[in-house]
Amino acid sequence: MAKKVLVLGELKGGELRNVTFEAIAAASQVANGGEVVGVLFGENASSHAEKMIHSGADRVLVAENDELKQFTTDAYTQAFLQVVESEKPEGIMIGHTSSGKDIAPRIATKLGAGLISDAVDVEVNGDDVVFTRPIYSGKAFEKKQIEEGLVFATIRPNNIAPLEEDTARTGDITTVDVDIKDLRTIVKEVVKKTSGGIDLAEASIIVSGGRGVKSAEGFKTLEELAEVLGAAVGASRGACDAGYCDYSMQIGQTGKVVTPDLYIACGISGAIQHLAGMSNSKVIVAINKDPEAPIFDVADYGIVGDLFDVVPKLTEAFKKE
Ligand code: FAD
């Protein structure tokens, strides 16, 4: 059956996050010839709506209320539920990001619907819509299907290929009236931490450091390699706990879950909680001076050696490329 599927787009730093396009690709499969309707909230949302259409949405609904300038759980949940009420979709796709993880379960609860979270793949066969999602900290995958009613899923960044952008695609962009009230949270000011700028969750290459990096100064060695590769810098909790870097860089069970094309683990032992956040990376390179380190069990390429010897050599070699 053809379906109408809503996709909640996400803006970050004044740009649409890539996961928006990946969610649109998932939605167009789920729609099965039906309609993909983008939904976008926030400051200047309407100026990004066309890009959602170029990426596969058939039309886009935008709301730019003052209360939606910054993400808050309350405001975005209220606004999205009002769009659902008027559109009556058969499917909803939202990125599995911090904000997506925050509002999707609330929306599902309010709608009395099921939710398949953290989907990495979707297959559609007639009326069957089957999502694949990781379980047991990424050690296995399960296939999940919502038997009846709304097909609702969150989509893990970096897994479902976006559709090819087509700038000739056209579609309506409509401003919707949403009534937001009784907010319990209001964002007064956003103070941004300075960082390398590449979003860990969406980075295609990550250079990551652990306790073996030994100091905040040691992370500069990794940053140099990251800069040459156009990579983001991540960390183990060991490195964060030791104060070498900020917790926003932590990858793992209680940090960020990443699936880059290339993950370079430097001085990371490979504890199960760290693997939970990165073991589904496409290619893993481990640099560790202990040949018995468990990280080598998941690595595609292992370099046994001192990271302070190996990493600068890699940086120099890639500079020449
Ligand atoms: P270590 O285990 O100390 O490993 C350091 C490694 O560096 C060693 O293998 C050593 O051989 C190597 N090394 C040292 N010097 C060098 C050198 N010069 N060159 C090359 N190699 C060198 N951890 C996470 O990462 N993410 C999480 O989200 C997370 N969540 C957790 C949740 C819970 C509930 C718990 C209990 C733990 C969690 N942990 C998490 C912690 C996890 O169990 C490990 O303690 C942590 O991952 C270890 O970090 P590490 O590998 O950097 O440090």
**How is residue 64 written in tokens?**
């730019």
CA-CA-CA-CA dihedral for 18, 20, 25, 28, to nearest 10: -170
pLDDT in tens, 148-173: 899 999 999 999 999 999 999 999 99
Q: Interior CA angle at 264 toward 101 and 255, to 5°? A: 25
Closest C-alpha to 10, from 68, 54, 90, 59? 68
Q: Which residue has the tokens 């900290």?
A: 137
User: Tell me: the pLDDT tens digits for 211-253?
Assistant: 999 999 999 999 999 999 999 999 999 999 999 999 999 999 9
Closest protein CA for atom 13 of ligand 1: 212
Task: Report residue 196's pLDDT band, with 50, 70 and 90 as the boundaries.
Answer: low
Let me know how long the chain is: 321
Pocket test for ligand 1, best of 273, 295, 298 (most atoms within 8 A of CB): 273
- Which atom of ligand 1 lies at the shortest distance from residue 269's CA? 9
- CA dist list (Å): 117 to 108, 114, 173, 191: 11, 10, 28, 30
Which amino acid appears at position 56 of this protein?
A: G
Residue 108: pLDDT band (50, 70, 90) is: very high
Q: Are β-strands 116-119 and 151-155 bridged in parallel, bridged antiparallel, or unpaired?
A: parallel
pTM score: 0.83
Q: Is the Cα torsion angle 55, 57, 58, 63 positive or negative in sign?
A: negative
Q: Three-state DSSP class for 28?
A: helix
User: How close is the Cα of 303 to the center of ligand 1, in Å?
Assistant: 17
* Residue nearest to ligand 1 atom 49, measured at CA: 238
ipTM of predicted assembly, 2 dp: 0.99
How far apart, in whole angstroms, are the C-alpha atoms of residue 19 and residue 62? Answer: 18
pLDDT over 60 (residue 195)? no
